């Protein structure tokens, strides 16, 4: 019946266009999808009387791929969504965003979110939700999706909505949850034997200690920075690039705040205090980046989180003064300076969330003035930013790069897996795969915009949970070690320039505690930096939701890691190609159950299978 009515409509369109002398219509009928039917397995499904079919799909967390749909269209077509509440972003499965995000809307509404060409046919489209609902009121969601030829109207698409079945609407005005989100992504709980292949003849990318690096948070405080155990632990973890970052601390009064670097009397940098913090940390094997996270409070008199317009040049001068103090007066040769931290929150995220024009150009203007003033003092420095808290929102970052690229040596962003301590481990670990895809998207964007000059990509904060208020204890447990190892494997595989975990020392996130005791993840830093810097090679696992491998050739050694991301033990059989059959013994370092232990294993044992403890990271090193 539906087919026949479509045919009639088609015939009518053809007839009318033909009669008007226009080219013959090539339009297909719109392809319409119920969002709840193509939603991700861990989406929330809710019932609502105003939704087509009585149901819609919602995101359980920020930055969620809510639904995927196939694109079968051949020509140019428009992508529409019927949704309510928070904005949504449509993108192709390879990460290309289709037009700007759909704005927030208060009632169910069709919005055309962009036009795609024939070259997108055969791909899949993703519906990406940047911001999930928080608090009590939870009504945001996507009801329907449509691929339509140009000229379709919202009213025409509305006619394709199916009314809710009145009998099923027990509470017509309420959003009833039919299915909760965030179900465990890995339902299988039995041990498996994973077959791991390492192809030593198939090089991929070089890895570096710059990837396996850290934020220096305690290093703002001279007392921490000069503690011998703190320094010993830093040396053990051996990061290649230290990012000095303390968001509010650095701009605090140096007399009253341990992290403060500003003399509030003179409103300038406190050179003596800064020297006392930086002097004790040796430069032996690490570059440094200093992040100027924000402007001092007197430059934001109206307290809207944005630099007051009459203070742009004053802030640029303050930034240049810091470069002069550190690199000219104190001769520290600091290589990298970062201009602002997570100001996407005030310049475009809140606008995207609540509706309103984004202010990317304003932040780019601030950036450009600062970079010019800083490079005038020391032309050798590299400047970058904006340390965006949301690297997964490509479009505003692309605009930022377009507006700053003459002055941009590195693009920086952050990635936290969750804000919910009860989100299952498997779901947290899966997000490291998403993190890898974001590296690919951002790298592709930078290369397209700056083909002649390599703009570095820095993922310079990452961890499991973005808020210390949630007290997610996994960051200081075995899960933190597994998570960091999975992130490092993604960085190595996808060619990130610099990675800095948040952070080296504190109560919630630190790779060491405030009492300078190493947490399990600290050993991941040590062994990645000692054993896994070299030429990465192709690897595979037939159970990669259970055991994840990563391998490098390091001089005369062949080194690799096996990450068991299950809460139970698994077995791994390791096979090599590109290496003649031989006997031998590999050194082993295993992080499990909160400790690290070194041992050895024979190649014969690896070929028949080794046991990997729950939530463990095991490193191997073989003399070639």
Strands 287-292 and 241-244: parallel
Q: Is 57 exposed, middle or buried (0-12, 13-18, 19+ CB in 10 A)?
A: buried
Q: Hunting for tokens 């904005």 — which residue is that?
A: 87
Q: Of residues 365-394, which lie at the interface with Ca ion (CB under 5 A)? A: none
Q: Which is nearer to Ca ion, 312 or 400 (CB)?
A: 312
Phi and psi for 529 in degrees, rounded to 5?
-75, -25
Q: Which is nearer to Ca ion, 144 or 533 (CB)?
A: 144
Round to whole Å and give the CA distance between 81 and 554. 50
Q: Which is nearer to Ca ion, 276 or 361 (CB)?
A: 361
Work out whether 562 is an interface residue with Ca ion (CB under 5 A).
no
Q: Which is nearer to Ca ion, 317 or 545 (CB)?
A: 317
Round to whole Å and give the CA distance between 346 and 391. 15
Q: Of residues 417-436, which lie at the interface with Ca ion (CB under 5 A)? A: none
Is residue 204 within a helix (H) or strand (E), and if so which, with residue range?
A: strand 193-206
Binding footprint of Ca ion, residue count (CB under 5 A): 11
Q: Whole-number minimum distance, CB 56 to Ca ion, in Å?
A: 5
Q: Whole-number minimum distance, CB 268 to Ca ion, in Å?
A: 21
Q: Which is nearer to Ca ion, 303 or 469 (CB)?
A: 303
Q: Hunting for tokens 């949630």 — which residue is that?
A: 470
CA angle 580, 584, 590 (to 5 degrees): 120
How many C-beta atoms lie closer than 10 Å to residue 5's C-beta?
Answer: 10
Q: Exposure string (b/e) for 365-380, b if CB count within 10 Å is 16 or more?
A: bbbbbbbebbbebbee
Q: Write each residue from 304 to 343 as x if it is in contact with Ca ion (CB under 5 A), else as -, in one continuous string.
A: x-x-x-----------------------------------
Q: Which is nearer to Ca ion, 316 or 475 (CB)?
A: 316
Q: Whole-number minimum distance, CB 57 to Ca ion, in Å?
A: 8
Q: Write each residue from 517 to 536 as x if it is in contact with Ca ion (CB under 5 A), else as -, in one continuous string.
A: --------------------
Which of these ranges, 28-36, 112-120, 226-234, 520-528, lies near Ca ion under the rule CB under 5 A?
28-36
Q: Which is nearer to Ca ion, 299 or 482 (CB)?
A: 299
DSSP E strand boundaries for 379-494? 382-388, 410-418, 456-465
Q: Whole-number minimum distance, CB 144 to Ca ion, in Å?
A: 5
Q: Write each residue from 188 to 227 as x if it is in contact with Ca ion (CB under 5 A), else as -, in one continuous string.
A: ----------------------------------------
| Residue 522 three-state SS | helix
Chain Cα centroid distance, residue 133: 20
Round to whole Å and give the CA distance between 327 and 316. 16
Q: Which is nearer to Ca ion, 264 or 312 (CB)?
A: 312
Round to whole Å and give the CA distance between 235 and 80. 54
Total residue length of the chain: 624
Round to whole Å and give the CA distance between 271 and 273. 6
Q: What pairs with residue 189 in β-bridges?
A: none
Q: Whole-number minimum distance, CB 141 to Ca ion, in Å?
A: 9
Q: Whole-number minimum distance, CB 34 to Ca ion, in Å?
A: 4
Q: Whole-number minimum distance, CB 557 to Ca ion, in Å?
A: 54
Q: Of residues 85-144, which lie at the interface with Ca ion (CB under 5 A)? A: 143
Round to whole Å and give the CA distance between 371 and 404. 9
Q: What pairs with residue 508 in β-bridges?
A: none
Q: Whole-number minimum distance, CB 130 to Ca ion, in Å?
A: 21
Which of these ranges, 33-41, 192-200, 363-371, 397-405, lies near Ca ion under the rule CB under 5 A?
33-41
Chain Cα centroid distance, residue 197: 28
Residue 520 has what DSSP assignment?
H
Q: Whole-number minimum distance, CB 297 to Ca ion, in Å?
A: 10
Q: Which is nearer to Ca ion, 52 or 438 (CB)?
A: 52
Which of these ranges, 31-39, 372-380, 392-400, 549-557, lies near Ca ion under the rule CB under 5 A?
31-39
Question: Which one of 34, 126, 152, 423 is in contact with Ca ion (CB under 5 A)?
Answer: 34
Q: Whole-number minimum distance, CB 44 to Ca ion, in Å?
A: 13
Which of these ranges, 303-311, 374-382, 527-535, 583-591, lies near Ca ion under the rule CB under 5 A?
303-311
What is the three-state SS of 317-385? HHHHHHHHHHHHHCCCCCCEEEECCCCHHHHHHHHHHHCCCCCHHHHHHHHHHHHHHHHHHCCCCEEEE
Q: Whole-number minimum distance, CB 344 to Ca ion, in Å?
A: 16
Is residue 621 within a helix (H) or strand (E), and if so which, with residue range?
A: strand 616-623
Q: Whole-number minimum distance, CB 64 to Ca ion, in Å?
A: 17
Q: Of residues 36-65, which lie at the interface with Ca ion (CB under 5 A)? A: 51-53, 55
Is residue 237 within a helix (H) or strand (E), and if so which, with residue range?
A: helix 228-237
Q: Write each residue from 263 to 302 as x if it is in contact with Ca ion (CB under 5 A), else as -, in one continuous string.
A: -------------------------------------x-x
**Chain positions contacting Ca ion, by CB under 5 A:** 34, 51-53, 55, 143, 300, 302, 304, 306, 308
């Amino acid at each position: 019946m539906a087919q026949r009515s479509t045919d009639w409509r088609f015939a009518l369109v053809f007839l009318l266009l033909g009669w008007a002398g226009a080219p013959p219509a090539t339009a297909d009928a719109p392809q319409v999808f119920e969002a709840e039917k193509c939603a991700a397995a861990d989406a929330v499904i809710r019932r609502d009387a105003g939704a087509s079919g009585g149901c819609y799909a919602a995101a359980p967390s920020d930055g969620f791929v809510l639904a995927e749909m196939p694109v079968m269209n051949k020509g140019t077509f428009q992508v529409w969504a019927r949704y309510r509440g928070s904005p949504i972003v449509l993108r192709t499965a390879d990460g290309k965003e289709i037009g700007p995000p759909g704005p927030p809307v208060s009632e169910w509404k069709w919005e055309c979110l962009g036009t795609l060409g024939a070259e997108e046919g055969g791909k899949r489209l993703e519906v990406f939700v940047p911001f999930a609902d928080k608090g009590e009121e939870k009504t945001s969601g996507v009801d329907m999706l449509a691929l339509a030829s140009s000229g379709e109207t919202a009213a025409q698409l509305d006619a394709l909505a199916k009314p809710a079945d009145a009998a099923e609407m027990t509470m017509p005005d309420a959003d009833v949850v039919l299915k909760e989100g965030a179900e465990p992504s890995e339902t299988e709980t039995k041990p498996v034997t994973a077959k791991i292949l390492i192809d030593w003849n198939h090089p991929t990318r070089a890895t570096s200690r710059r990837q396996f690096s850290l934020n220096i948070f305690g290093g703002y405080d001279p007392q921490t920075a000069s503690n011998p155990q703190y320094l010993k632990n830093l040396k053990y973890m051996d990061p290649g690039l230290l990012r000095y970052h303390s968001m509010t601390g650095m701009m605090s009064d140096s007399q009253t705040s341990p992290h403060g670097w500003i003399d509030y009397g003179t409103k300038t940098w406190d050179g003596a205090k800064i020297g006392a913090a930086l002097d004790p940390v040796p430069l032996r094997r690490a570059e440094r980046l200093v992040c100027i996270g924000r402007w001092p409070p007197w430059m934001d008199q109206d307290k809207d989180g944005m630099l007051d317009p009459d203070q742009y040049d004053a802030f640029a001068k303050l930034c240049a003064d810091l470069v002069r103090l550190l690199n000219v007066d104190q001769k520290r040769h600091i290589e990298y300076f970062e201009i602002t931290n997570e100001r996407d929150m005030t310049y475009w995220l809140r606008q995207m969330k609540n509706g309103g024009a984004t202010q990317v150009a304003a932040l780019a203007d601030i950036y450009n003035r600062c970079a010019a003033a800083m490079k005038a003092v020391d032309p050798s420095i590299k400047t970058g930013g904006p340390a965006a808290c949301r690297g997964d929102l490509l479009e505003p970052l692309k605009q930022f790069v377009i507006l700053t690229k003459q002055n941009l040596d590195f693009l920086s962003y952050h990635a936290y897996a969750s804000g919910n301590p009860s989100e299952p481990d498997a779901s947290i670990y899966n997000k490291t795969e998403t993190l890898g895809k974001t590296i690919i998207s951002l790298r592709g964007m930078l290369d397209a915009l700056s083909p002649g000059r390599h703009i570095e990509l820095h993922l310079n904060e990452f961890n499991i949970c973005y808020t210390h208020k949630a007290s997610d204890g996994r960051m200081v447990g075995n899960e933190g070690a597994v998570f960091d190892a999975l992130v490092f494997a993604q960085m190595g595989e996808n060619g990130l320039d610099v990675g800095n975990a948040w952070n080296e020392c504190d109560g919630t996130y630190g790779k060491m505690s405030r009492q300078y005791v190493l947490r399990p993840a600290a050993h991941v830093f040590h062994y990645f930096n000692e054993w896994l810097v070299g030429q990465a090679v192709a690897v595979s696992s037939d159970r990669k939701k259970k055991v994840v491998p990563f391998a490098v050739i390091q001089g005369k050694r062949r080194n690799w890691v096996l990450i068991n991301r299950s809460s139970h033990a698994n077995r791994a059989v390791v096979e090599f190609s590109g290496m003649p059959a031989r006997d031998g013994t590999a050194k082993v370092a295993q992080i499990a159950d909160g400790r690290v232990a070194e041992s050895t294993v024979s190649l014969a044992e690896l070929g028949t299978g080794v046991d990997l403890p729950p939530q463990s990271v095991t490193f191997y090193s073989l003399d070639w």
